[in-house]
């Protein structure tokens, strides 16, 4: 499934010119300390190497245990996606990286099970895509928002529902098209790795919009 969208990635969705100006002024008035930049770059390098390494042995890991490969690849690419956002915004948060690691492991495991269930129980391509987007996408987004609320606040707040609906709305700008691609053209063995790559590309878009 798609990488669920944090609230901070939605705030500037319709205000990009103003946000670009503000970020430009902030960068000039409050330049990021060099040690923060170094850590941001190190995070990117380490997580990129880790993600590539896991991908190279993905089949072996999945052969050893069905969910081991998806869990590790999901976790490493989720961390990388968050680090990309932090690098673009020049804001370092190991707490968020850890949160996305946990989410990536959960998401990776359940996404593979979800794909397998759809392929086994739903024969029609159109139904696979519709069920994926009308059932899977809202469910996975909800799980992420609940996890995020518990991680950040220790409880599900009144704002969780609003954040969930905003996140889901934005996700439908991209993921239905990817769902068509993944079910129609990508072999089952590559569906989840392709989803991880799509998550990274989508995260780049969100980091610019945010």
Confidence grade of residue 208 (pLDDT, cut at 50, 70, 90): low
Does some domain include residue 187?
yes
Does some domain include residue 24?
yes
pLDDT at 26: 55
Does some domain include residue 1?
no
Mean pLDDT of 191-201: 92
pLDDT digits (tens, 9 = 90+) for 108-141: 999 999 999 999 999 999 999 999 999 999 999 9
Does some domain include residue 147?
yes
Does some domain include residue 131?
yes
pLDDT above 70 (res 145): yes
Does some domain include residue 99?
yes
Does some domain include residue 183?
yes
Number of domains in the chain: 1
> Which residues span the domain enclosing 120?
7-209
The 3-class secondary structure across the chain, one letter per residue, is CCCCCCHHHCCCCCCHHHHHHHHHHHHHHCCCCHHHHHHHHHHHHHHHHHHHHHHHCHHHHHHHCCCHHHHHHHHHHHHHHHHHHHHHHCCCCHHHHHHHHHHHHHHHHHHHHHHHHHHHHCCCHHHHHHHHHHHHHHHHHHHHHHHHHHHHHCCCCCCHHHHHHHHHHHHCCCHHHHHHHHHHHCCHHHHHHHHHHHHHHHHHHHHHHC
pLDDT above 70 (res 15): no
pLDDT digits (tens, 9 = 90+) for 46-72: 999 999 999 999 999 989 899 999 999
pTM, to two decimals: 0.82
Does some domain include residue 200?
yes
């Amino acid at each position: 499934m798609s990488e669920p969208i944090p609230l901070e990635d939605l705030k500037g969705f319709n205000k990009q010119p103003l946000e670009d100006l503000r970020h430009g002024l902030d960068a000039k008035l409050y330049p990021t300390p060099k040690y923060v930049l170094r850590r941001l770059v190190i995070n990117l390098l380490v997580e990129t190497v880790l993600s590539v390494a896991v991908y190279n042995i993905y089949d072996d890991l999945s052969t050893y245990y069905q969910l081991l490969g998806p869990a590790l690849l999901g976790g490493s690419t989720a961390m990388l996606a968050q680090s990309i956002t932090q690098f673009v915004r020049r804001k370092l948060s190991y707490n968020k990286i850890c949160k996305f690691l946990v989410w990536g492991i959960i998401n990776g495991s359940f996404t593979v099970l979800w794909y397998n269930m759809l392929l086994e129980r739903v024969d029609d391509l159109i139904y696979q895509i519709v069920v994926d987007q009308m059932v899977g996408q809202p469910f996975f987004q909800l799980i992420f928002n609940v996890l995020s609320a518990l991680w950040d606040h220790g409880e599900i707040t009144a704002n969780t529902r609003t954040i969930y609906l905003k996140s889901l709305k934005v996700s439908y700008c991209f993921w239905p098209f990817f769902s068509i691609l993944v079910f129609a053209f990508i072999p089952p063995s590559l569906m989840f790795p392709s989803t991880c790559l799509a998550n990274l590309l989508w995260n780049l878009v969100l980091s610019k919009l945010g």
